[in-house]
Amino acid sequence: MPLLEILTYPDPFLKQTVKAVTTIDDKIQKIIEDMADTMYDAPGVGLAAIQAGINKRIIVFDPEADPEKRGFQVFINPEIVESRGEMVSEKEGCLSVPDFRANVKRSAFVRAEGLDRHGNPLKIETDGLLSVILQHEIDHLNGILFIDRISALKRQLYKKKRKKALKNA
């Protein structure tokens, strides 16, 4: 399956809220497979459709990031319906925010609801790494990058560095 192009900051498409999936058909299944291939190739542990320029509320994720096992999960129209506690996601990174990692405050526990790739209701209650992945990817669907959750100073330093890198490219 073809790899998708991953949009990177400061692409304005990344700042929008994407649309819900209303029909799960062969086209959506192909998008899911292409997203999984792209995530493993990157390599990453999660990918939101918006990161590939697709205006759909779809995420794929695999905390093990094992391209051989391909144990990825799919979440369509996911929403966090409960969160509690606080933790710091250490050195969080993002395929759309190249060459930068930062500590990010996240909820320690989340309960998310949506649909699986076949349209069946899906509920995930989790903590730890999977909690961070879900929060990070669902943020993408709402136009939020992880750099929006760090201090203004660190964010400005990254933006300045990124603009300089793009100018010199």
Closest residue by Cα to residue 115 from 63, 79, 150, 69: 79
| Residue 137 falls in the annotated catalytic set | yes
From the candidates 79, 82, 90, 137, which is the catalytic residue?
137
Cα–Cα distance between 101 and 147 in angstroms, integer? 9
Cα–Cα distance between 57 and 51 in angstroms, integer? 11
DSSP 98-110: EEEEEEEEE-SEE
Cα–Cα distance between 112 and 39 in angstroms, integer? 21
Closest residue by Cα to residue 136 from 67, 83, 70: 83
Closest residue by Cα to residue 131 from 68, 96, 85, 77: 85
67 neighbors 91 (Cβ within 8 angstroms): no
Indicate which residues carry an active-site annotation.
Answer: 137
